[in-house]
Structure 1
Amino acid sequence: MSKVRAITPWLARRGFDVARMGFGLRTALASCLALAVAWLMGLEHPQWAAMTVWAVSQPVRGMLVEKSLFRALGTLIGTLFGVVLVVVAGDNLPLLVLSLSLWIGLCVGIGNLLSGLVSYGALLSGYSATMVALLNTQQPAGQIFALGSDRMLTVMTGVLVGLLVGLIFTPRNAEDHAALRVRRTTSDILRAMAAAFAGDTTETRADKAHRLLERIASAEQLFDIKAAGSVRSHRSVRALRALVQGQVGAAYWIRSARHLNQDEHMASALCEAARILEENAPADKVLCALEAALACSTDRATADVLRQLLDSQREHLATEGDDTGMTAIRNRVVLHRDWVGARQAAVRAFGLLLLIGVVWILSGWSVGAYVMLGASVMITLFSTFEAPSRVMGHIFIWQSIAALAALSCHWLLWPLATSEWQLIALLSPFILLIVPFFAHPRVASGSLDYVMALLLLSHPVLPLERTFADSLVIAAAVVSGPLLAYIAFRFVWPADARRRRQHLTGMMLNELAGMARNPMAPARHQVWRVRLHHRLLKLIQSVNRSAEPLQPATSAALAVLAIGDAIQQLHLLKAGTDLPRPLQRRVTMALLRLEHLPENPQAAVRSLQKVATLLQQMGHPAAWDVDNAARGIATNLAFFQRH
């Protein structure tokens, strides 16, 4: 133990992530254990069990449990589809290729629409089918059911071993960083609202709103980790999402509230509620403090913001208590779905695999199945990455190293073995070799794929039937997967952070156009608004990961919310019967301009300003909302002109 403690600082000084090294060593040993267990069970492809351990292992207990579940479900669905497809297609290779390409495209599309580990399960269903169907083409006829059952049993063995080892070594109780950060942000929001009633300037409130939105978006990124592992965790995160949406509305209020009179009583109540949150007081005290602040509010906008915070805080605190099973989440949670990116990813995957399959059919190349298999994993699993083409270069390097390692093991060491357990013992050091590289930030990217490619190319079963030429060609075929995926990600609807943000902002603007077009917009305003809240958080997160300044993104996000409020007011005005005809025409024109906002934002600004002027002359309370939207568009023309 003392030697371990002594070496830890030495490793840290040389740039190694000591915690990640421990996790990598534990996973590598569990992988070797799964390899041995699967062999002892008499399974044909024990290396698949070892691959599964690396796929499911997580440093967080909840993520470990849930990823293991979706690994099992995804494998089951994919394997069943692969078996049924082989039975139906028979020797019809074109039908097999077309069906697999369609299946992969469907799974990729669904995986890009969903989020978290549900997305992972959908993607896994895709390439699990290719593992069964394509490897079956390399075996004698009539082996599909044996191959399918072997795939299922090896994966389940790997899941169970990875889950058992992970549960033993992963700490049971981890600090709830997501809930803690949301609580602190709520406290900061209440203090910012108190400062607004104490006389904060508009500029100061704008700066606070921008910083708050950044913190809200940062906390929201932790929700997938917090949600994993149990039904209770999922319910808690759903309540947290509702609370976060209330926080976004509060940040907008801080930026946009007008005509606030100094109110020491209101400011004091808000500060008291913030103090109680900061002290981690019991739920009843937190709720009482928020109710007291709500009781002090004298205008509808402030009351709406505080009521949303109170209701969502009540639901969140209830999910954290003992009666979570009886708690209903009433606040609507609507998440962003990247329909454009999902459609493009699906077509990209379908097209790449179909092209590879056609070349395989026409050329009759014996390793075409391995090329298609390697490409299917890359084009599927990495399709949800923000910039997958960047990752492919690292993966290609590590898979090339894995190919050399597999060839070395197979042709230099395995010929010395006289039994299968010796094959497994000789392969294990090559698995353990990756641990220090896995733990160093400079070379960690793509290192996991070294193990996956190594195990995919290593079949520890006697007798060793392949020739060296066969092994070399198969290794080259597998390593070609990252290169083919790179070409697809780079040149077919290029997938990168900038284009994903374009999809996101385009959908936000389409949302506004739909709100302007739909005369029933006020009835659906809450649904649209909460979806806009989530989309603007995703926009801020994406910009925050880049080198671009964040302030333009938060400013544009607040402008989008202002336009949404203005559209609601315009629809209410249009539905009224007591407005002068000139104003009715101006309102109709403003809604029409907002339907085509990306095409001519300046025209929308002018139209909104004219409506605002007429409303001001009438003393109508909607004047400020309409004028605020016009100012938001004018201030962020670059954002609205991009589409």
Structure 2
Amino acid sequence: MTEPVTSRLARLGFDVPRLGFGLRTALASCLALVLAWLMGLEHPQWSAMTVWAVSQPVRGMLVEKSLFRALGTVVGTLFGVLLVLIAGNNLPLMVVSLALWIGLCVGIGNLLSGLISYGALLSGYSATMVALLNTQQPAGQIFALGGDRLLTVMAGVVVGLVVGLIFTPRDAEDQLAGRVRRTTSDILRAMAAAFAGHSSETRTEAAHRLLADIAGTEQLFDTRAAGSLRSHRSIRALRALVQAQVAATYWIRTAHNLPEDRALGDVLTMAAARLEENAPGEQVLRSLEAALAQCPEQSTATVLRQLLDSQREHLATEGEHSGLASIRNRVVLHRDWVGARHASLRATGLLLLIGAVWIVTGWSVGAYVMLGASVMITLFSTFETPSRIMGHIFIWQAIAAVAALSCHWLLWPLATAEWQLIALLSPFILAIVPFFAHPRVASGSMDYVMALLLLSHPVLPLERSFADSVAIAAAVVSGPLLAYLAFRLIWPADARRRRRHLTGMMLNEISEMAGNPLAPVRHQIWRARLHHRLLKLIQSVSRSAESLQPVTSGGLAVLAVGDAIQQMHMLTQNQHQPPRLRRRTTLALKRLQQLRHAPLAAARSLQRLADRLQQDHHPAAWDVENAARAISLNAEFFKHPE
């Protein structure tokens, strides 16, 4: 029997679904190229580039990315046109303004998440596309260039969207909800085990495993939220449920003096079984309500109530009246202020440097160098280790430069009509499909198409000289090299540094809480944000070869310290407490403000306070002692470099 083609391709190492997606996208980009040419647009290749930019194998991502591609292009084009009108022939003003605009867009893009981040980044380099290419054409053409940019992008968005909607299957939203459901079930079983007398070591291992599972699910939320308001609301409810899961995992790790309660354990096990069986939502909620009714003490009740409320809100968003459901559990996400500031300064500095060289030397291809660098330094600024992919992009862009020069100087001179130029260019676009679908060479391959189309202007007459074509190609290919230097050497960005910044933000917030008497008021906001930061940290470590245990232990220790700080602030504000106890508590809070510099000193101060509280049989004694123990066991995590 003849082996199926798909099986043979898979045996050769090809990703068959990605091969189909790549072929579909390449054909759609050729269609957009023809359509834009038929519309009489000056740069039809921009439409083909847009198809590659918006095409996604997931329907929701396709719709939302198309939207933000359009919005980002409109904002960037308007800024570019306005800048040209204001700056005129003042090149230094244009360079400085573009560098600052790119820096602003990169900073915003690194603060935001999801496809709105992509829209912000696109607003940056769309402005450079209009303003810089305007310097390469006769004066007074800015409105024509800006209009051409908008129309070509919109044509590409429409073609990419229509083709994608025809061939892309609907998103399997239930798979993600199913993962969250299974984790909730595992958490309930771990809680039941705690009431069955399982050891703290067993519960600690369960907590580490659960955090890794939760983090693995959470990183899928941004892509699955795209496509509709209903999807966004559903993911927001799942985020609230995930934050409740983190709180429950912390309880599993730290709960103490629990009585053996077989009845409560059986109810929790029953609730877990309902989730595993995918029982109707009302049955799941009744099981959780029954467990909550039997809770022996407040901390367990708080955890179960948060799980119950979050589960109820999630089920409401999945029902027939999901549009009316409200999310009461506050969702607070991590914002990478440090990374955003560094990315903004990196992009601004690189473009100012390139612009200064262009102004001083009068470089004929300075606009193309700045354009190529702006795209690379912008789009890849959100990558965890952007320098790693720059080498692949450089190779593919160099191949694209050779392909563009070959097409322009070997084939296009044979053409007598513009449709022939497009027909001769199309095979060069289609040629990337097999490489795009093979894991060994796929990295950076899409940039081959982008560079090829950027360097190809299928309009007669062909006006450039061969020397100009080579210079422009070299200028565009220099973009990833300059970005590599910026990402790797000038202002380094890599996964280890990002993790260090993230950990630093967690610890700085602890120190700020210790010095803020109003910290108890904002405790829930702090916990929700810390939960998300902890998950982001676990996700980053999971992508490396490092052990997860130090990160999960350190993150849970930070939660313990935060809970102790809340109790300590309430102690200092209680006028009925003995003055000596309040002074000792104030001293411990001051030690915690210097936690990053002297974690063991802070732990000793907390332990002394805990001993005094135990003498008075104060209920906060265990929380303070737990924080002291957590800091001592995770001193390296807390002693974090600046």
CA contact (8 A) 1:49 1:157 kept: yes
Q: 2:82 maps to what in 1? A: 84
Counterpart-to-counterpart distance in 2, 1:511 and 1:319:
33
Q: 1:28 maps to what in 2? A: 26
CA contact (8 A) 1:414 1:426 kept: yes
Alignment of 1:54-93 (within 5 A): 54-93=52-91
Letter of the structure 2 residue corresponding to residue 440 of structure 1? H
Q: 2:294 maps to what in 1? A: 296
Q: 2:407 maps to what in 1? A: 409
Within the alignment, does 1:182 sit opposite 2:198 as a pair?
A: no
What are the Cα deviations for residues 575-615 of structure 1, in whole angstroms up to 9, with x where unaligned? 11232233212100110011110010011010000001011
SS of the residue corresponding to residue 193 of structure 2 reads helix
Letter of the structure 1 residue corresponding to residue 95 of structure 2? V
Q: Shift of residue 175 of structure 1?
A: 4.8
Within the alignment, does 1:550 sit opposite 2:548 as a pair?
A: yes
CA contact (8 A) 1:176 1:226 kept: no
Q: 1:374 maps to what in 2? A: 372
Q: 1:244 maps to what in 2? A: 242
Counterpart-to-counterpart distance in 2, 1:582 and 1:11:
76
Q: 1:496 maps to what in 2? A: 494
Alignment of 1:327-476 (within 5 A): 327-476=325-474
Q: Shift of residue 568 of structure 1?
A: 0.4
Match of 1:517 among 512, 515, 537: 515
Counterpart-to-counterpart distance in 1, 2:490 and 2:187:
43
CA contact (8 A) 1:290 1:310 kept: yes
Counterpart-to-counterpart distance in 2, 1:477 and 1:204:
59
What are the Cα deviations for residues 129-153 of structure 1, in whole angstroms up to 9, with x where unaligned? 0000000000000000000000000
Counterpart-to-counterpart distance in 2, 1:142 and 1:594:
63
Within the alignment, does 1:267 sit opposite 2:241 as a pair?
A: no
Within the alignment, does 1:214 sit opposite 2:180 as a pair?
A: no
Counterpart-to-counterpart distance in 2, 1:84 and 1:176:
46
Counterpart-to-counterpart distance in 2, 1:330 and 1:580:
39
Counterpart-to-counterpart distance in 2, 1:635 and 1:245:
25
Letter of the structure 2 residue corresponding to residue 258 of structure 1? H
Deviates more, 1:572-581 or 1:266-275: 572-581
Counterpart-to-counterpart distance in 1, 2:304 and 2:462:
71
Q: 1:230 maps to what in 2? A: 228
Q: 2:530 maps to what in 1? A: 532
What are the Cα deviations for residues 109-135 of structure 1, in whole angstroms up to 9, with x where unaligned? 000000110000000000000000000
Letter of the structure 2 residue corresponding to residue 231 of structure 1? L
CA contact (8 A) 1:31 1:51 kept: yes
Q: Shift of residue 174 of structure 1?
A: 2.2
SS of the residue corresponding to residue 382 of structure 2 reads coil
Letter of the structure 2 residue corresponding to residue 96 of structure 1? M
What are the Cα deviations for residues 349-408 of structure 1, in whole angstroms up to 9, with x where unaligned? 001001111110110111100000000000000000000011110000000000000000
Q: 1:149 maps to what in 2? A: 147
Q: Shift of residue 211 of structure 1?
A: 0.2
Letter of the structure 1 residue corresponding to residue 286 of structure 2? C
Counterpart-to-counterpart distance in 1, 2:588 and 2:180:
38
CA contact (8 A) 2:183 2:210 kept: yes
Counterpart-to-counterpart distance in 2, 1:176 and 1:146:
47
CA contact (8 A) 2:58 2:171 kept: no
Mark the runs of 5 or more structure 2 residues left unpaired by the alignment: none
Counterpart-to-counterpart distance in 2, 1:497 and 1:176:
31
Q: 2:156 maps to what in 1? A: 158
Q: Shift of residue 11 of structure 1?
A: 1.0
What are the Cα deviations for residues 234-275 of structure 1, in whole angstroms up to 9, with x where unaligned? 011111111000000000000000000110110011001000
What are the Cα deviations for residues 35-66 of structure 1, in whole angstroms up to 9, with x where unaligned? 00000110000000000000000000000000
CA contact (8 A) 1:53 1:158 kept: yes
Counterpart-to-counterpart distance in 1, 2:600 and 2:171:
54
Counterpart-to-counterpart distance in 2, 1:493 and 1:112:
16
What are the Cα deviations for residues 551-592 of structure 1, in whole angstroms up to 9, with x where unaligned? 111000100100010000101111112322332121001100
SS of the residue corresponding to residue 43 of structure 2 reads coil
Q: Shift of residue 514 of structure 1?
A: 1.3
CA contact (8 A) 2:514 2:590 kept: yes
Percentage of identical aligned residues: 76
Letter of the structure 2 residue corresponding to residue 9 of structure 1? S
Letter of the structure 2 residue corresponding to residue 191 of structure 1? R
Q: Shift of residue 6 of structure 1?
A: 1.3
Q: Shift of residue 642 of structure 1?
A: 2.0
Counterpart-to-counterpart distance in 2, 1:641 and 1:529:
21
CA contact (8 A) 1:49 1:158 kept: yes
Q: Shift of residue 327 of structure 1?
A: 1.0
Q: 1:484 maps to what in 2? A: 482
Counterpart-to-counterpart distance in 1, 2:482 and 2:284:
56
CA contact (8 A) 2:32 2:48 kept: yes
Letter of the structure 1 residue corresponding to residue 233 of structure 2? R
Q: Shift of residue 493 of structure 1?
A: 2.6
Q: 1:575 maps to what in 2? A: 573
CA contact (8 A) 2:173 2:224 kept: no
Letter of the structure 2 residue corresponding to residue 308 of structure 1? Q
Q: Shift of residue 282 of structure 1?
A: 1.1
SS of the residue corresponding to residue 176 of structure 1 reads helix
Q: 2:316 maps to what in 1? A: 318
Counterpart-to-counterpart distance in 2, 1:172 and 1:581:
65
Letter of the structure 2 residue corresponding to residue 604 of structure 1? A
Q: 2:131 maps to what in 1? A: 133
> TM-score when scaled to structure 2?
0.99
Match of 2:197 among 183, 196, 199: 199
CA RMSD of aligned residues (A): 1.0
Letter of the structure 2 residue corresponding to residue 244 of structure 1? V
What are the Cα deviations for residues 476-535 of structure 1, in whole angstroms up to 9, with x where unaligned? 000000000011111233100000001100100011011111101111100111000000
User: Structure 1: which 4+ aligned runs deviate by more than 3 Å?
Assistant: none
Counterpart-to-counterpart distance in 2, 1:173 and 1:297:
39
CA contact (8 A) 1:192 1:205 kept: yes
Letter of the structure 2 residue corresponding to residue 128 of structure 1? S
What are the Cα deviations for residues 290-332 of structure 1, in whole angstroms up to 9, with x where unaligned? 1111011010000000000000111111001111111111111
SS of the residue corresponding to residue 381 of structure 2 reads coil
CA contact (8 A) 1:178 1:220 kept: no
Q: Shift of residue 286 of structure 1?
A: 1.1
Counterpart-to-counterpart distance in 1, 2:64 and 2:286:
36
Counterpart-to-counterpart distance in 2, 1:254 and 1:9:
47
Q: 1:634 maps to what in 2? A: 632
SS of the residue corresponding to residue 155 of structure 1 reads helix
Counterpart-to-counterpart distance in 1, 2:469 and 2:254:
66
Counterpart-to-counterpart distance in 2, 1:616 and 1:19:
63
Letter of the structure 1 residue corresponding to residue 274 of structure 2? I
Letter of the structure 1 residue corresponding to residue 124 of structure 2? G
What are the Cα deviations for residues 57-95 of structure 1, in whole angstroms up to 9, with x where unaligned? 000000000000000000000000000000111111111
CA contact (8 A) 2:60 2:171 kept: no
SS of the residue corresponding to residue 330 of structure 1 reads coil
Q: Shift of residue 176 of structure 1?
A: 2.8
Q: 1:617 maps to what in 2? A: 615
What are the Cα deviations for residues 183-205 of structure 1, in whole angstroms up to 9, with x where unaligned? 10000000000010011100000
Q: Shift of residue 173 of structure 1?
A: 4.6
